[in-house]
Amino acid sequence: MKPRLIAFDFDGTIANTLGEMHRIFNEMAPNFGLKEVHGDDVKDLRQLSTKELLKKLGVSKHKVPKLLGRGLSILRSRIEHIELIEGMRETLIELQPKVEHFGILTSNSSENVELFLKHHGLDHLFQFISSKSKLSGKAKHLKSILRTFSLEKKEMLYVGDEIRDIKACQKVGIPIAAVTWGFNAREAMSKEGPDYLFDDPRELQVLIEG
């Protein structure tokens, strides 16, 4: 079934923020009593779920809100230097007219997303930006989007780059297009059984166009 609504993750899916977030984490690490991440560590971390990642980094649950909030605040000051994922501009422009609803669901702040989209001249494409302040709980927000637009589960497609995106969609019953150009590695996401697994933004166009 062709989706009536497409919702995108932001970090690593639309915006190439991962390198900057890595730098920001290392800048903050000493103040939070954490070890910096270097070299081959990144490759290993891309295989992990969010829970496994936090455990590996030594980030306790009570540190997550403050760490995330501080990191997003620093990112805001650098957002105009963040590039789009290669090929994503053309893909977004092509896809938007082909569906009824077009939006973003992210753990980043809505302010960061809006600044980024405006800087790249893409803010007019999106009907909504749904921001949640936690790394977990995405399934609840997916359900909310379904209710807001009175959609059946199969009428929505979520596009994300992490294992947690796949698990959230599977929990709700929403099709998920997992993309390999973001945080989690292809092998790690493939094991979770996403509906689609794409290596290039143009594959999204092929999916929607049939």
pLDDT along the chain (210 residues), means of 10: 94 96 95 89 91 91 90 96 97 96 96 97 97 79 96 98 97 98 97 97 89
Give the pLDDT confidence score for residue 84 in this predicted structure: 98
Domain closes at, from 65, 80, 95: 80
Give the pLDDT confidence score for residue 168 in this predicted structure: 96
Domain closes at, from 80, 107, 132: 80
Give the pLDDT confidence score for residue 180 in this predicted structure: 97
Looking at the structure, do residues 30 and 112 belong to the same domain, yes or no?
Answer: no
Residue 129 belongs to what domain range? Answer: 5-16+83-209
Using alpha carbons, list the distances in angstroms from residue 198 to 20, 77, 193, 206: 23, 31, 13, 11
Confidence (pTM): 0.95
Looking at the structure, do residues 150 and 51 belong to the same domain, yes or no?
Answer: no
CATH number at residue 127: 3.40.50.1000
Cβ-defined contacts of 83-86 (< 8 Å, 24+): 83/15, 83/16, 84/14, 84/15, 84/16, 84/120, 85/12, 85/13, 85/14, 85/15, 85/16, 85/181, 85/182, 85/201, 86/181, 86/201
Give the pLDDT confidence score for residue 79 in this predicted structure: 96
Looking at the structure, do residues 150 and 89 belong to the same domain, yes or no?
Answer: yes
Looking at the structure, do residues 116 and 183 belong to the same domain, yes or no?
Answer: yes
Give the pLDDT confidence score for residue 209 in this predicted structure: 82
Euclidean distance between CA atoms 4 and 102, whole angstroms: 9
Looking at the structure, do residues 56 and 24 belong to the same domain, yes or no?
Answer: yes
Q: What element of type H or E holds 189?
A: helix 186-190
Give the pLDDT confidence score for residue 61 in this predicted structure: 84
Give the pLDDT confidence score for residue 135 in this predicted structure: 65
- The total domain count for the chain is 2
